[in-house]
């Protein structure tokens, strides 16, 4: 009897799937995200966070050499590899503006392990089934730190 009930429940679920998603929520306490009991991990988090605020969001390419290794490896297919490639292409999409005290993008988490730091963000996208609606998902950027600079970057971007 129990097996028949479970089989019927699974079959009903598969026949008419109920899709539910909780919205992705940003963490408003950035100090909490930057904290770590390990001073090296805290420093790596701060390096990535400040790069994001000053160079990426602030558009201040004159600060790129403070954060990016000259041999910076870029895995995003939209951006050339190397610090010079990043500095050459980025001003085409972002103009310098005042540097904010905190990252403006909706941060979910900052995770650090060894020489890697991952920033996770809320990403709000149009619902392909209903143009009047949006949904949230998560975007990430991962950086590898080497000798106190960002040496490598990954994200889920596609060629456009």
List, as one string, the DSSP characters of 129-154.
Answer: TEEEEEEEEEEEEEEEEETTEEEEEE
- For residue 35, give both structure tokens: 């904290």
CATH topology of domain 30-154: Nuclear Transport Factor 2; Chain: A, (3.10.450)
- What local confidence, expressed as pLDDT, does residue 5 receive? 47
Between CA 145 and CA 69 the distance in angstroms is 9
Between CA 118 and CA 115 the distance in angstroms is 10
104 HSE (CA, 13 A, CB side): 11
Domain boundaries, the chain: 30-154
By the 8 A CB rule, do 145 and 151 touch? yes
pTM for the full predicted model: 0.86
Tell me what percent of the residues of the chain surpass a pLDDT of 90.
Answer: 77
Chain segment 43-91, per-residue pLDDT in tens: 999 999 999 999 999 999 999 999 999 999 999 998 999 999 999 998 8
């Amino acid at each position: 009897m129990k097996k028949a009930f479970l089989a019927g429940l699974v079959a009903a679920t598969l026949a008419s799937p109920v899709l539910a998603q909780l919205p992705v929520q940003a963490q408003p306490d950035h100090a909490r995200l930057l904290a770590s009991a390990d001073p090296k991990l805290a420093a790596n988090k701060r390096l990535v966070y400040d790069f994001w605020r000053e160079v990426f969001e602030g558009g201040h390419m004159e600060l790129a050499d403070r954060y990016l290794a000259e041999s910076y490896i870029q895995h995003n297919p939209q951006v050339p590899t190397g610090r010079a490639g990043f500095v050459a292409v980025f001003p085409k999409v972002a103009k310098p503006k005042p540097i904010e005290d905190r990252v403006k993008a909706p941060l979910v988490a900052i995770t650090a392990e060894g020489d890697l730091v991952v920033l996770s963000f809320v990403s709000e996208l149009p619902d392909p089934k209903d143009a009047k609606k949006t949904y949230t998902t998560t975007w990430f950027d991962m950086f590898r730190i080497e000798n106190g600079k960002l040496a490598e970057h990954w994200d889920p971007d596609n060629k456009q």
